[in-house]
Amino acid sequence: MFDKENGGHGSVWNLGLKEAKGKYTRFLDSDDWLENLDLLIEKLESCDADLVITPTLCHLPKGKLWKLKIKDMKYGRVYDADTFDWLHNRTHRNFILHHSCTYKTEILRQYLPLFLEKQPYDDMILFPASIIGACSLVAYDFVLYHYLMDREGQSISKEVMSRNVQAMTKSQKAVIEFIEAHPILENSSKYVYFRAKLPKLYNMGYRSYIKLPYKEAKSYTEEWDAWRMKRNPSVKTRWIRMYKLLPYRMYRIIGKMMTII
């Protein structure tokens, strides 16, 4: 039992990761639940992979279910993380966040404090930390995590996300800063993947604000562009070029059209 000042979701996860005694760590949000823990424990007892991936069952509005399936991986096969095809494999797009991942404790603990505190979207950092820190991964074919997606006021809802723009921006910046701060073996599949991923992450700040009210959107985009210029002025994308070349009002109109298509 631990007694600590309330620092939010990320603070609790930092503490849990620091104090964890087991070989593996599993994260669980307060409104979600797990099943088949006996199967997971059975697999972990004979497993040494850094990432253990299992399907997630998402509970959508009106009682609908959506199963995030394992794709392009053979169950029970241990993959080398430096040669795994992160760029083209379809599984990692859904499974690197905590809903479908069980992590070897030591690969995350080395980055403590890993999670941002006193703000939502702190779990976004698990995406780069787990890929960069892992040496191996394996997938098993049983649902472990039940992800409730129809709760009112949930942080991923459009209404809440629009109110939490600053928190989302802070988390997006933390992801980029983490990737750029941790060197990856050049020519490894991780290196190829993040070299392709980084421009898209920088794009998020240019495209994610355009649906906000005009003045607010313009201000956030200017702030993001100044931060990007200071951090990585060499990155070039279609969104960046468009923002630099066009008056903001025209950029906003075209940008909205691009996000619809």
pLDDT digits (tens, 9 = 90+) for 159-200: 554 567 888 899 999 999 999 999 899 989 999 999 999 999
Q: Does the pLDDT at position 7 exceed 80?
A: no
pLDDT at 19: 94
Segment 217-239 shows an average pLDDT of 95
For the chain, the domains span: 8-148, 186-260
Which pTM value belongs to this model?
0.89
Superfamily classification of domain 8-148 = Spore Coat Polysaccharide Biosynthesis Protein SpsA; Chain A (3.90.550.10)
pLDDT at 157: 44
% pLDDT > 70, the chain:
90
Q: Which of 3-7, 31-35, 42-46 has the lowest mean pLDDT?
A: 3-7
Could you report the per-residue pLDDT of 49-58, keeping only the tens digit for each?
A: 999 999 999 9
Which tokens belong to 183?
């060197």
Could you report the per-residue pLDDT of 87-99, keeping only the tens digit for each?
A: 998 876 656 678 9
pLDDT at 162: 58
pLDDT at 261: 58
How many CB atoms neighbour CB 117 within 10 A?
15
Q: Does the pLDDT at position 14 exceed 70?
A: yes
pLDDT at 98: 84
